[in-house]
Amino acid sequence: MSPPVIVTGAAGFIGMHVAERLMARGERVIGVDDFNAYYDPALKAARAARLEANPDFRMVRLDIAAAEAFESLVRESGAVQVVHLAAQAGVRYSIENPFAYERSNLAGHLSVMEACRRQPEFQHLVYASSSSVYGDRPQGGAGFCEDDAAAEPVSLYAATKRACELMSFAYAKLYGFPQTGLRFFTVYGPWGRPDMAYFSFTQKILAGEPIEVFGQGQMARDFTYIDDIVDGVLGALDQPPERGSNRILNIGDSAPVGLMDMIAVLEDALGRKAEKLFRPMQPGDVTQTYADISRLRALTGYQPKVSLAEGLPRFVRWYREFYG
Ligand SMILES: NC(=O)c1ccc[n+]([C@@H]2O[C@H](COP(=O)([O-])OP(=O)(O)OC[C@H]3O[C@@H](n4cnc5c(N)ncnc54)[C@H](O)[C@@H]3O)[C@@H](O)[C@H]2O)c1
């Protein structure tokens, strides 16, 4: 039997979907999550329960920054592949609670790398980075490309994600084990994250409350449907770079959508109009995100399949079922 794949952040949005897809193709998965209360732990528990219904899944409740415990888990499991998605996410919260990012993102990433580099025959560490590392760019230019220096993050969240990439470069050189950093672009879909705009707007619109539209509605995001993201994660996982490399790949839709257009699609899906309160840009926010996906496409044949017009109604259907 081949060793299990470890997925950190498995009670999270992307982690749950990645774990499901891995099991659907016959792999065993060990999920790791600390179930912290950054957002509704009941949603994390529901995702975990869904995974635990599968006998090929085991959940371990653990803070990844607890280096010794995480290392023992990797050693005892015999895992040679880790998909590391656990992190303190969110741009705005990184201004409110910066030390949560130090622990989960910096100490957490280091702890994961330390465990991987000590594991004999270790094959591939795939870890989550973020489009936010590109900093603030005006709209209208070309897609963001992985070769960009990405040296001017505008939030602490982005800075920690870029720092993880740099730590991974150093560890790839020092210890050789292959790594891939995935820069995700605004991921959305069923079982999504309540702190993200499409989710909180849905809650508010259904409750008849006004929504706060930041950046006066002028921002654009490269919204990427969760199934497309999972295609990219597994495609990258299956093709590790050569020893000594830390490969960086964008995973996006490569078709930015304006915030007001996103709201219009959501209003259609909900069958209700939103009352909009226009607000200035928030500190740490960026004007647009836009992925150049040619590198991932050349490597894996990656092609995003689900547009926002199709994917957002799928989220709304899930939301209505889940919250009743
Ligand atoms: N969703 C997006 O649009 C997006 C965009 C760019 C990057 N990312 C990155 O992708 C990854 C997954 O994001 P997501 O949207 O699924 O977020 P999420 O918050 O739903 O999932 C992250 C999970 O990690 C867990 N976690 C956090 N700190 C931990 C710790 N110290 N120990 C153990 N578990 C811990 C959380 O409890 C959570 O369940 C994160 O690294 C995030 O930064 C997400």
| pLDDT single digits (tens) 207-225 | 999 999 999 999 999 999 9
Residues with CB under 6 A from ligand 1: 9, 11-15, 32-36, 44, 63-65, 85-89, 104, 108, 128, 130, 184, 186-187, 193
Q: Read out DSSP for 115-184?
A: HHHHSTT--EEEEEEEGGGG----TTSPPB-TTS-----SSHHHHHHHHHHHHHHHHHHHH---EEEEEE
Q: Which among 6, 7, 13 is the best mutation to test ligand 1's pocket, defined by most ligand atoms within 8 Å of the CB?
A: 13
Taking the alpha carbons of 97, 98, 103, 104 in that order, is the dihedral positive or negative? Answer: positive
What would the two tokens of residue 123 be?
């094959």
The answer to whether residue 44 scores a pLDDT higher than 90 is yes
Window from 54-58, 72-76, 138-142, 317-321 with minimum mean pLDDT: 138-142
Residue nearest to atom 1 of ligand 1 (CA): 187
Contact 304, 228 (CB under 8 A): yes
Q: Which residues pair with 81 in a beta bridge?
A: 124
Q: Which residues pair with 8 in a beta bridge?
A: 32, 84
Q: Which among 21, 34, 68 is the best mutation to test ligand 1's pocket, defined by most ligand atoms within 8 Å of the CB?
A: 34
Which ligand 1 atom is nearest residue 182's CA? 7
Q: Residue 270 CB: number of other CB atoms within 10 A?
A: 18
Q: How far apart are CA 133 and CA 156, in angstroms?
A: 10
Q: How far apart are CA 213 and CA 297, in angstroms?
A: 33
Q: How far apart are CA 291 and CA 144, in angstroms?
A: 5
| pLDDT single digits (tens) 236-275 | 999 999 999 999 999 999 999 999 999 999 999 999 999 9
pTM: 0.98
Enumerate domains of the chain plus CATH numbers. 5-185+226-252+291-304 (3.40.50.720)
Give whole-number Cα distances, 291 to 132, 193, 294, in Å.
11, 21, 9
157, 198, 225, 319: which one is catalytic?
157
Q: Which amino acid belongs to residue 101?
A: Y
Q: Which amino acid belongs to residue 169?
A: F
The answer to whether residue 293 scores a pLDDT higher than 90 is yes
Q: How far apart are CA 229 and CA 247, in angstroms?
A: 17
Pairing of strands 257-258, 220-221: antiparallel
Q: What is the 3-state secondary structure (H, E, C) of 169-212?
A: HHHHHHHCCCEEEEEECCEECCCCCCCCHHHHHHHHHHCCCCEE
Q: Residue 169 CB: number of other CB atoms within 10 A?
A: 14
Contact 220, 288 (CB under 8 A): yes
The pLDDT of residue 315: 98
Q: Is 225 a catalytic residue?
A: no
| pLDDT single digits (tens) 60-90 | 999 999 999 999 999 999 999 999 999 999 9
